[in-house]
Structure 1
Amino acid sequence: MAIPRVKILGVPFVKTTLNDFIKHIVTEHAVPSKKATIVTANPEIVMHANEDQSYMDILQQADYVTADGIGIVKAADKLGTPLPERVTGFDLMKGFLAEANEKQLSVYLLGAKEEVIRQAKNQIEETYPNLKIVGYHNGYFDWEKNEIADEIERLKPDFVFVALGFPRQEKWINQNVERFEKGVFMGVGGCFDVWAGTVKRAPVFWQKVHLEWFYRLLNQPSRIGRMMAIPRFMKKINEQKAKERK
């Protein structure tokens, strides 16, 4: 069953809830072994896509783009095309791992530093003992040699989580996905760091009041440059809304 889309500055976001989307991906793709690519996009990613046509093409070619950020949800409301809620990368990964654990599906992890991915792998296996992590590799490899893609092609995992940071993770998936027979492929940014315990996710209170981004900024002040994409994003949304009124 198709999921409706909402376009925000050219990026097609799926109009769905977190739980419904997890069920859709598992029943329509993971269990019947049908490929899917997922991008979790926040305002920074949307702005990058609007400044880099090749990256915009990748987002438009992805099977699903979810609203990873309250800024996307607020923008959809302002444009009169509301989205029901945020569908974040970490929550999606957690939901997919829970489903993989229940259904004994297989997982491949790609990205981050060696010590981080090892710790993340151990924590995931401890939390979800029934899923199968069939392989993993850190984010330092030669793209041209295709050794990682060869391994994934041979192992045929049900889920492949790629933590190379945007836009590299989406580019790697887009560049290699055609060669795979099956698998749900999703870029997960810094999720491995959270699983490894090297980065803490915002407490539930901060998440509920939609200030998770501010909590991350307080803990990682170096992100201030990246955060400047948010006001630029809202400016573009206001400009689009003004054009629609004329």
Structure 2
Amino acid sequence: MKQVNIMGIPFACVQHKALIKLLDEHIMRNEKSFVITANPEIVMQAHDDSDYMSHLHRANYITADGIGIVRASQLLNNPLPERVTGFDLMIDLLEIANIKGYKIFLLGTYEDALTRVIENIRHNYPNIEIVGVHDGYFAMDDLSVSKKVKEADPDLTFVGLGVPKQERWISQNIDYFDKGIFLCVGGSLDVIAGDVKRAPVSWQKYNVEWLYRLLSQPKRWRRMTSLPRFVVQIIKKRLKRTS
């Protein structure tokens, strides 16, 4: 698959529907795959932390979760086709799992929220088998968590531990597993639980979902400072290429 390098990160040049089909094929062949959906915050964190960058490079697919990544690829004259977000991937994979009876594992958020996630998934996707859950409050070296996941033998593991823990955890444990899709989903579990609202479709349409999140969760402002830093770096690279 063609890749687009943005500040050292190889983004998969793939559309949402095509990736869903690929991941479903991996499941049917009992293969494993590590999927990251990266935004400018993740790019800048990897830019500042070489160890984190090495974990990202272990992924099979890194997609553009954010219009900033797509715009950057266009500025660098190597455009990505579209955004491919973690939440949208999770929802479509849940729909496929419901049709095919796939087994899933939920890793992340806190216990009360997980209870609501389970209830909502069972209500909306009754044919899915939830083979295990674990909250996100554990030490990175706690081997009992990866053991629990392996014993559950899921087809899909949704990892919502937040950045950078979720990428590090999958990277450090992926060799332990024999099969399954491991997808970083950030705060998507909290959205399914009903604790966090996703931006309205109109905000998504105009690519200002990030602004909606900032207005609804003002404490995110520190994380948002990575966006202007990212823009500056992309402009520098653009100017360097044109000169």
Provide the residue aligned with 2:51 in structure 1. 54
Task: Provide the alpha-carbon RMSD of the alignment.
Answer: 0.9
How far is 1:25 from its partner? 1.0
How far is 1:31 from its partner? 1.4
Distance 1:166 1:31 in 2: 29
Aligned partners of 2:56 and 2:171 also within 8 Å:
no
Counterpart code for 2:232:
K
Provide the residue aligned with 2:213 in structure 1. 216
How far is 1:63 from its partner? 0.6
Provide the residue aligned with 2:10 in structure 1. 12
Provide the residue aligned with 2:66 in structure 1. 69
Secondary structure in 1 matching 2:137: coil
Match of 2:196 among 193, 196, 199: 199
Provide the residue aligned with 1:103 in structure 2. 100
Unaligned runs of 5+ in 2: none
How far is 1:78 from its partner? 0.5
Distance 1:191 1:150 in 2: 24
Note the alpha carbon deviations across 1:47-79, whole angstroms, 9 max, x for none.
000000011111112111010000000000000
Provide the residue aligned with 1:24 in structure 2. 22
Counterpart code for 1:9:
M
1:125 pairs with 2:122: yes
Counterpart code for 2:49:
D
Counterpart code for 2:19:
F
Unaligned runs of 5+ in 1: none
Distance 1:193 1:155 in 2: 22
Provide the residue aligned with 2:181 in structure 1. 184
Moved over 4 A (4+): none
How far is 1:141 from its partner? 2.4
Task: Go from structure 1 to structure 2 and tell me whether the alpha carbon gap of 1:134 and 1:86 turns closer, same or farther (over 3 Å shift).
Answer: same
Provide the residue aligned with 1:225 in structure 2. 222
Distance 1:84 1:65 in 2: 13
Q: How many residues align?
A: 243
Distance 2:71 2:166 in 1: 26
Distance 2:95 2:139 in 1: 32
Note the alpha carbon deviations across 1:81-126, whole angstroms, 9 max, x for none.
1111100000000011111111111100001011111111111111
Residues 170-181 of structure 1: pairs in structure 2 closer than 5 A? 170-181=167-178
Secondary structure in 1 matching 2:141: helix
Note the alpha carbon deviations across 1:118-139, whole angstroms, 9 max, x for none.
1111111111111111000111
TM-score by length of 2: 0.98
Task: Go from structure 1 to structure 2 and tell me whether the alpha carbon gap of 1:145 and 1:56 turns closer, same or farther (over 3 Å shift).
Answer: closer
Distance 2:88 2:9 in 1: 21
How far is 1:145 from its partner? 3.4
Secondary structure in 2 matching 1:181: coil
Match of 2:81 among 77, 84, 91: 84
Note the alpha carbon deviations across 1:150-209, whole angstroms, 9 max, x for none.
111112100011111010011111111101111110111100110000000000000000
Secondary structure in 2 matching 1:133: strand
Distance 2:6 2:202 in 1: 28
Distance 1:143 1:37 in 2: 18
Secondary structure in 1 matching 2:178: coil
How far is 1:17 from its partner? 1.1
